[in-house]
Amino acid sequence: TATGLLHLRARGLTEVLLYVEADNSAAVAVYEKLGFTRHAVDVMYEYP
């Protein structure tokens, strides 16, 4: 992931957006460690 971000930055990208499930705590921790912040939270409901 860090290598991919460096690759994108080297090509001039200044912003990266990604989607991760909120309950995927391992992925959330990795992205936060890399400097990502929460931009929006989607909520889905299901009714039987």
Q: Per residue in 18-28, pLDDT tens?
A: 999 989 999 99
Let me know: does 30 contact 1? Beta carbons within 8 Å. yes
Tell me the average pLDDT across 26-36. Answer: 95
Tell me the average pLDDT across 30-46. Answer: 93
pLDDT at 1 over 90: no
Short-list 34, 36, 37, 39, CA closest to 3: 34
Domain ranges of the chain: 15-48
DSSP structural state of residue 36: -
DSSP structural state of residue 22: T
